[in-house]
A and B are shown apart, each in its own frame.
Chain A
Amino acid sequence: MDILSIRGISKSYGDHQALKDIHLNIPQNSIFGLLGPNGAGKTTLIRIITNIIMPDAGEIIFNGKPLEPDHVRAMGYLPEERGLYKKMKVAEQLVYLARLKGMAKSDAVRIIKEWFEKLDISSWYHKNVEDLSKGMQQKVQFIATVMHKPQLIILDEPFSGFDPVNANLIKDEILQLRDEGTTIIFSTHRMESVEELCDHICLIHDATTILNGPKNEIRNQFRSNTFIIEHRGNLDVLLNGYTCLSSTENDQIFRSEIQIPGRENLNDLLRSLADKVEIVSANEKIPSINDIFISQVTNSNNG
């Protein structure tokens, strides 16, 4: 079942169209990657989902019902641009944010303490925010996003400002939240984390969705029947219709990228090569999300 269903959302600011007829379904209990270059309309879409701004057209269905202001309580939003009140104590600030989200004070205090222990930052409890480093503040903000146990968490560049150790810590927390049944919308430019975490992805460019679906399906869609063959011995002649895209040699071993016609498969390729060279290894070249992102965005810019 889909926790969130975005149906025909459009939004423009004056002459600028920020979103044009966006349709998306975000399945429950998944990590959904919302990708797109800067200015594509991601933040606008997130602000519409979190009820900060209203769409010009279209509707949003949350848990089967049209989105209402009350639903926002069941969401946690970590914006890309984020800040805290510098003069407030860490704990006081979190309690304030929790209460704004409708939590009772005692619950807020208890849960915040749990999180402080979990992230090993109990000693910051009474510190002033301005005394924390940027990464420390990001941790505090992560807690602020998840402490009210939302069903839907929207994370915009959650790893920015973290060192690799802490980025891993947060990544594990995100995965654990997913395993506990939370749905996560994950917006980032760091494709390796998309590759690693996301189950579904959606690519927004110039206010429209240009890709949308489960990550593996999208990857399959971009397979070009290209294989990477490592072999000994120079490969000079290929069958008709086969193209060698590139070939490099390293210590007598050649590494060649060969694209074959759509109706043929790896077996056909290997058969044709077997009597010419000694095959060391063979792999299909599966496009990375990064490649797909770049090719799609540049294609659509050129087209």
Chain B
Amino acid sequence: MGKIGLIIAREYLSRVRKKSFIIMTILGPLLFAGIAIVPTWLATRESTDQKVIWVLDESGYFDGKMENNGSVKFEMTHKSLEEAKAELINNKGVSLLYIPEIDINNKAEISFYSFNNPGFSLEKTIEGKIRTELENIKLINSGIEKEQLEQLKARVELSTYNLSKAGTENESSSEASSAVGYISAFLIYFFIFFYGAQIMRGVIEEKTSKVIEVIISSVKPFQLMMGKIIGVGAVGLTQFLLWTALSTGIVSVGSAILLKDVEPDKIESLAQNQPIKTPVKADTGNVIFDALKKVNFPLVIGCFVFYFLGGYLLYGALFAAVGSAVDSDADSQQFMLPITIPLIFSMVIIAAILKEPHGSLAVWTSIIPFTAPVVMMMRIPFDVPIWQIAASMLSVVGGFLATTWFAGRIYRIGIFMHGTKVNYKVLAKWFMMKI
């Protein structure tokens, strides 16, 4: 094993054996699984504290028209408004919806009484129900038959197709592409930050504990820096793979237990964020899976691995350089800024990229090496032209070589410097210095 190999092995093993690594590896997937399962579980659970709403309908339009659902139960009441209000005091969980006589051609003034604020979504639900009902009544009044009314309801699903020069049509889905792109881009962003900081801390530790002085007669500074970057990267990759495997495992086991009584239809419609209603299409639940199928996964996974590692290596060297220049974590702030700005910038422009995945902002930022890993990953599911992918990858590789060379020149001097006040001028001097 070469020296770099030994260094990688030490960096890797010393981190993987740490308690914090093991805890993170176990807790991470539990957290992910929690995020994935719990909301579904909560949403599908039959609500025990169903909200009861008394409907006092003086207009007579709504008798039997207010449909109950999981969280709301409507009960028609025929008491007077004063009586009903008085009774609310004894039934604090109950709310009162008062629909007075309505002139259908004017704005309907409807009142809602309750002891607690009803919440935005309930308010909108009730408003929507009443509006739809009144619209139906108006349509019927203007002479449209009930059957015609049913037929008038429009159902729309927009399928998008990407044309290629070869003449083939690929069905695409913006939602699925956005989701895949966003998740991959975010993972890369997170990974660079989290493990970049670990590289930096590792370098600071070697510097402040003076281990560097002992080791440096056996290895070149550059070997030590690269060994650390690769070793820490391998730890990150291990953690990522373990997370993926464990999360998948926990999600499938967890879903099987928690959601075993829930009809699949329900989960699938929840997954699309649609309220449960009579199925519009029998295969509505498969839409999301169909959409995902339209994403070119081999390309996405290939690019993900490339930008995941490429982005990490590109920034990793810079984090190592910062670590070598300072004496403690606290001093690192001033030098972290130029590293974090392009990363944060690439997250900030994501909304703009999603709006226009092939606009000039998107193209340029996915070729500039510092923003490429995050931005290009965001764009990959949207069928990026090959030449742009090639240019972006070349630029990331070139950027990696450049930052590593640059960082190496700072690092070889920085690791020996203690107690000096370091600023950018000093860094420039180190950079130019020959050893």
On A, residues with C-beta under 8 Å from B are 13-14, 50-54, 56, 72, 75, 77-88, 96-97, 99-101, 141, 144
Contacts and interface: CB of A to CB of B under 8 A. Distances in A.
B210 A81 contact: yes
Given A75-B217, A97-B214, A88 B3 contact: no
Contacts of B434: 54, 56
Contact of A84 (B211, B219, B418): B211
A54 B435 contact: yes
Contact of B429 (A14, A52, A77): A14
B290 interface: no
Given A81-B213, A85-B209, 8 more contacts: A14-B433, A52-B216, A54-B434, A72-B218, A84-B209, A84-B211, A97-B218, A99-B1
B3 A100 contact: yes
A83 B217 contact: no
A77 B217 contact: yes
Contact of A88 (B6, B14, B214): B14
Contacts of A77: 217
A100 B429 contact: no
Nearest to A84: B211
B17 to A, nearest CB: 9
Q: Which of B3, B433, B435 has the most CB of A within 10 A?
A: B435
Contacts of A54: 434-435
Contacts of B210: 79, 81-83
Contact of A53 (B211, B214, B219, B435): B435
Interface in B206-226: 209-219
Contact of A101 (B18, B211, B218): B218
Interface in B373-421: 418
Interface in B1-34: 1, 3, 6-7, 10, 14, 18
Interface string B188-232: 000000000000000001000111111111110000000000000
Interface in B76-92: none
B213 A82 contact: yes
25 contacts: A13-B433, A14-B429, A14-B433, A51-B217, A52-B216, A52-B217, A56-B434, A79-B213, A79-B214, A82-B210, A83-B209, A83-B211, A83-B212, A83-B213, A83-B214, A84-B211, A85-B205, A85-B211, A97-B214, A99-B1, A100-B6, A100-B215, A100-B219, A101-B218, A144-B214
A56 B435 CA distance: 8
A159 B30 CA distance: 52
A84 B434 CA distance: 28
A151 to B, nearest CB: 14
Contacts of A97: 214-215, 218
Please provide the 10 A-B residue pairs with the shortest distance between their CB atoms, ordered closest to farther.
A83-B210, A83-B209, A79-B213, A100-B218, A77-B217, A83-B211, A53-B435, A81-B210, A50-B217, A81-B213
B386 to A, nearest CB: 44
Interface residues of B, number: 24
A81 B215 CA distance: 12
Contacts of B205: 85
Contacts of A101: 218
Nearest to B432: A14
Contacts of B435: 52-54
Nearest to B215: A100
Interface string B92-134: 0000000000000000000000000000000000000000000
Q: Which of A51, A54, A99 has the most CB of B within 10 A?
A: A99
A153 to B, nearest CB: 11
Contact of A96 (B6, B216, B418): B6
A266 to B, nearest CB: 49
B284 to A, nearest CB: 54
A84 B218 contact: no
A96 B214 CA distance: 12
Nearest to B3: A100
Nearest to A156: B213
Contacts of B3: 100
A82 B213 CA distance: 6
Nearest to A72: B217
B217 A84 contact: no
A196 to B, nearest CB: 26
Contacts of B14: 85, 87-88
Q: Which of A56, A78, A80, A85 has the most CB of B within 10 A?
A: A85
A86 B209 contact: yes
Interface in B293-338: none
A82 B216 CA distance: 11
A101 B214 CA distance: 11
Q: Which of A52, A77, A84, A144 has the most CB of B within 10 A?
A: A52
Contacts of A87: 14, 18
A81 B18 CA distance: 27
Contacts of B215: 97, 100
A88 B18 CA distance: 11
A112 to B, nearest CB: 15
B218 A82 contact: no
Contacts of A100: 3, 6-7, 215, 218-219
B429 to A, nearest CB: 7
A281 B373 CA distance: 86
A141 B210 CA distance: 12
Q: Which of B7, B211, B214 has the most CB of A within 10 A?
A: B214
A144 B213 CA distance: 12
Contacts of A82: 210, 213-214
Contacts of A53: 435
A72 B205 CA distance: 25
Contacts of A52: 216-217, 435
A99 B5 CA distance: 11
A130 to B, nearest CB: 10
A123 B3 CA distance: 29
A80 B418 CA distance: 14
B193 to A, nearest CB: 23
Nearest to B434: A54
A83 to B, nearest CB: 3
A13 B18 CA distance: 40
A51 to B, nearest CB: 8
A249 B418 CA distance: 52
Nearest to A75: B217
A88 B11 CA distance: 11
Nearest to A86: B209
